[in-house]
Structures are given as C-alpha cells and as structure tokens.
Amino acid sequence: MAVSPTGGGKTVIFSDIVRDHSNLPSCVIAHRKELVSQMALALARNGVSHRVIGPKNLIKLVIDTQVLELGASLYNPNAKCAVAGVDTLIKRTAEYHKWCQQVGLWVIDEAHHVLADNKWGKAVSMFPNAKGLGVTATPCRADGKGLGSHSGGVFDDMQVGASMRDLIEMGFLTDYRIFAPPSDIDLEHVPITKTGDYESKKLKRAVRSSHIVGDVVKHYMQFAQGKQGVTFATDVETAGDIAQQFRDAGITAESVSAKTDDRVRNEVIRRFRRGEIRQLVNVDLFGEGFDLPAIEVVSFARPTQSYGLYCQQFGRALRPMDGKTHAIIIDHVGNVIRHGLPDKERVWSLDARERRPKAVNDEDDIPLQYCAECTQPYERIKSACPYCGHRPIPATRSAPEFVDGDLYELDPATLAEMRGAMDKIDNWQNIAKGMEKSMPLAAVNGYRKTAYNRQIMQHALRESMAWWAAKQREAGRTDSESYRLFYHTFGMDMLTAQALNRADALSLADKINERLAR
C-alpha cells in the first residue's frame, strides 16, 4: 500500500513503477470509467503502451482522451500492460485466465476499497503469481475494516509519503480557506449504516428539508463568485435542483452522476475543462481520483461520516494552477467540524481500527468551531477568531464546560467554589484539627492518612501539570490557550484536576507524563 494525499502524484508514481516492470505483463485496475481513462492517460504520459479491458465505449474514451491531451494515443490491443475496470475484469475471469497466470504486477487505484472477500479481492486473486501495489490518499474505511492481509485485506506492507501539509508548503498543492455558513440541516434521525456512512434515503430527506439547495448558490456567490467549482450533492434530484438554481442565478452549471449517459457525462467534463461550465454538481462521482486543476471551489452539500471520502472531496480543489492563490471550501453540512482539517498528519494502519484515523500528535486533534461572523473554522483553544477577531460570548460562565475549560472565562463565584475544593486538599491538617473536637480519634486518624496520601499524589500531579504548561508556553501558547488545550486533551479543566482524589490524580498524572515523554 502506497499512501499519498489527493494531488500528491499517485498516478505518476504507479505509472513509473509499471514502466519499470515492462518486461512482465501487468494490470492496472480502477472502478469507474473516468478513472480507467485517467490511469491510461498517466501511463501514456510515461510512454507505456497499454490495452484496455472494458467495453468498446470505454476504449474509445481512452483513445479520445489521449489524443485530446497528448496528440496521440498509446492504446495497443497487444500490449503487455492492461488497464481494466474491476467489474469487467471479474466478469471475464475465464477469458483471461491464462493471461492472469502470467501477470507479474497488479496495481489498484483508490485501494482503500480492497478487502479479500469483496470484488476487489476477487480481482486480486486472479493474479496468483504477481506482486501487488495499492495506492490511496486515505488508507482507511468508513466501516473500520482492516486493509492488511492479517485483518481481512490483502496488503502486507504500507509506505507513507509526504503529508498534505508538506505538499502545500512545498508548493505541490495549494493552500485553502474554509467557509461554513450556518445550516439548518438536522441529521439527528439519519441512521449510519454498516458501511459507516449515512443511510441515503433519510439523508436525502434531511437535506431537502433544509435550505441547503438555495444556500449553496447564495454562498458560492458570496465567497467565490466567478470561480470554477464542484458541488457534492446527496442524490440526483437534489443535484439537478442545485444546478438549476445556479443557472437561474446566471451561472453556467450542469449536474452529473453515475446514471448520466456516458457521452453526456464526458461532454460535460470536457466543457468544464474548457471553462465553459462554472459549476459541476455531482453525486458521488468526483470524490475519488478526479484530476482537474481547474477546480477552485468545493461546496459540501452532502454530509458524510467517511473520513476518507471527506478528504478525497476536499482535495479536489487543492491542485495548483496559474493564478490560483488558494482553494475555497464552502461547507454547508458540518463535514469539517465532523472530521477536522484534512492536512492534520494522521496515523495510518493496515489494522482494523476506529472509523476515523487519529492524529499523529493527539494534541493536534483539537475540536474546531465556526466563527459566527466570518464563518471560518478555527481551533477551540482560541478565545477569538484568528481571521476576523470576533470573540464569542459564552451563554453562561458558571461551569468549565461552558468556556472550554478557560479559567479566565469563569465567573468569580464559580472560581471561588472550585478553589475551595483545592483548599480542602491543601489545608487538610487544619481540617483534621477541627475534626478532633467532635469525632473519634480513629476516624480522625483515618482521615489524616487518606488526606495525606491524596496531597502527596496531588503534588506529583501538579508538578506534571506545571511541566505540561511550560511546554505550552515554549510553543507560544497563551495561558488561556493552555487552559483550553488541557480541557480538550484530558477531558477536564486545570482547577478540577487539582481537586481529584488520589486514584484519579494518579491516573491523570500518568496521562500527562506519557504525553510529555512523547
């Protein structure tokens, strides 16, 4: 498994590897016609002649695309390298049996789909004598299943390339700005299926019960008017409605899906490439592998629980082009808050795992919030929006959970009460003396022993907290930001932590020390 972000050059990488294996038959596999054509184009750019395992209209699409892009086609029905659609390949198992035995290398794009017991795994099993290479931007599945051969997948090893943020800073991808206008979509009653994403019919109903269809056009005109964009919709009907509203507003737009006739879909994409269409509204069509640097704007009108799909869709706008200073992401459905920023470096694994990959540094997984003024997302450790300076006012200051653990934001009465709980730990000796007047000596001595041990453990905890706070100051964070970061990292505020009992204080100290050691 080779991992590289959307726009990180995966097709260039695997076409170079295929070229290096040109002495052996090879097979490059994808799951949609557009991706088959795109992979064939990448091979042609690298001088690799190839045939196509697919219907005649797909072969024609491959040839036409290469002639249009390169002036000639490297399609050759007798070539050792084949490019195949996975469904066609499986259907023709008997026809290609002998050739499959000779194949020395298979390559699968968007390889997070591959499990041993699904159609991708069936395709892999057709090549018993071959090495295999899977490429993907997101080696994780919404259902949490593993991609490793030890956990239901087929891959034995994984190599991870540069991160999205690395590629942005090196100029291979463009940076981005996110806008998230207020939305009235209600997903509370939309169930999540076994695949790990929202149930489609109820999701459609939720979207159509909201104002998203009109908001997509309204906020495109507010934040990105005139730029070329792709909008991700939930279903064909909603996509058509959004496209019509774009046209009613004087913006050239078309809607496409897997149900759109191939010829119509290909012509729409060509018109988009030529700049004749400003908005391309699609249903689960361009989330994976769609290579088009002209995309300047992505509008999310489709909520998803899939971290991989979210990153794929987000990345459509990150390919650089002349005059493009940054991509614009307009999130109408809370995907950014749901999943976090896609350029946070993540821990990837071939194991079965949680549905969302964890950040490399857990402290990087800080929840986001949207600014009520400029709608841009920022980390909740900030007390004010770093983009426009707006400072949200808490609904109440009577408890840490209302202010993200920021002690500066609590009202005096709440602070006094919380400090009183700390004082009971620090002044246990005076409390014990007061108890002597009204309680048996055995009870007082029992209290002394418990309180002493609690204080000793609290001293150790507070020392760890002081080291942690010093690290935050070294990182340039204010005390307010440190309070908030502590709250989101460890699940409690720093004053409550200093009133914990012995066992809980020991547990928290261990967590802080482990974090400091990392």
CA distances from 274 to 7, 124, 277, 403, 428 (A): 20, 37, 8, 50, 77
Burial profile 102-128: b = 16 or more Cβ within 10 angstroms, e = fewer: ebebbbbbbbbbbbeeeebeebbebbe
386 part of a folded domain: no
Reduce the DSSP state of residue 448 to 3 states and report it.
helix
CA distance 230 to 317: 8
For residue 232, the enclosing domain spans: 166-346+360-379
Distance CA 32, CA 266 (A): 13
Domain shared by 493 and 412, yes or no = yes
191 and 326 fall within a common domain: yes
Structural domain includes residue 302: yes
For residue 339, give both structure tokens.
């999943």
Same domain, 300 and 335: yes
Q: Based on the structure, what is the number of domains in the chain?
A: 3
Last residue of a domain, one of 161, 190, 206: 161
Is residue 301 classed exposed, middle or buried when 0-12, 13-18 and 19+ CB atoms within 10 A define those classes? Answer: buried
CATH number for position 234: 3.40.50.300
Residue 32 sits in the same domain as residue 138? yes
Residue with tokens 């695949």: 195
> What pLDDT is stored for residue 6 in this prediction?
84
The CATH number of the domain holding residue 42 is 3.40.50.10810
If asked whether residues 335 and 424 sit together in one domain, one would say no
pLDDT of residue 207: 94
Handedness of CA 100, 106, 111, 117 (dihedral sign): positive
From 312, 15, 337, 286, select the one nearest 140 (Cα to Cα): 312
- Would you say residue 303 lies in a domain? yes
pLDDT for the residue 203: 95
Question: Closest Cα partner for 335 from 185, 517, 152, 491?
Answer: 185
**CA distances, 464 to each of 377, 486, 489, 491, 516 (Å):** 31, 12, 14, 16, 9
Question: Do 7 and 152 reside in the same domain of the chain?
Answer: yes
Same-domain pairing of 11 and 157? yes
Q: Is the residue at 481 inside a domain?
A: yes
Q: What is the pLDDT along the chain (518 residues), one digit of tens a residue?
A: 999 998 888 888 999 999 999 888 999 998 888 788 889 999 999 999 999 998 888 899 899 889 988 999 999 999 999 999 999 999 999 999 999 999 999 999 889 999 999 999 999 999 999 999 999 999 998 888 999 999 999 999 999 999 999 999 999 999 999 999 989 999 999 999 988 899 999 999 999 999 999 999 999 999 999 999 999 999 999 999 999 999 999 999 999 988 888 788 888 988 998 899 999 999 977 766 566 777 999 999 999 999 989 999 999 999 998 889 999 999 999 999 999 999 988 889 999 876 667 766 666 678 899 998 999 999 999 999 999 999 999 999 999 999 999 999 999 999 999 888 888 887 778 877 788 778 888 887 887 888 888 888 888 999 999 999 999 999 999 999 999 999 999 999 999 999 898 899 999 999 999 989 88
Shared domain check, 178 and 151? no
Q: Are residues 335 and 216 in the same domain?
A: yes
**CB 397 within 8 Å of CB 411:** yes
> Structure tokens of 340?
């976090």
Looking at residue 273, its pLDDT comes to 86
Asked whether residue 222 falls in the same domain as residue 79, the answer is: no
Residue 373: inside a domain, yes or no? yes
Domain annotation covers residue 37: yes
- For the sheet containing 327-331, what is the strand order? 176-179, 327-331, 297-300, 229-232, 279-283, 253-257
**One domain, residues 372 and 422:** no
**113 with 50: CB under 8 angstroms?**
no
Q: What is the pLDDT of residue 199?
A: 95
495 in any annotated domain: yes
Q: Specify the pLDDT at position 7.
A: 81
Phi, then psi, of 175 in degrees rounded to 5? -75, 180
- Candidates 335, 345, 326, 327; CA nearest to 370 is 335
Which of these three, 161, 188, 205, is where a domain ends? 161
Q: What is the largest CA-CA distance in the chain?
A: 101
One domain for residues 193 and 55: no
3-state secondary structure string across 384-440: CCCCCCCCCCCCCCCCHHHCCCCHHHCCHHHHHHHHHHHHHHHCHHHHHHHHCCCCC
Instruction: Evaluate whether residue 52 is within a structural domain.
Output: yes
Q: Give the end of a domain, one of 111, 130, 161.
A: 161
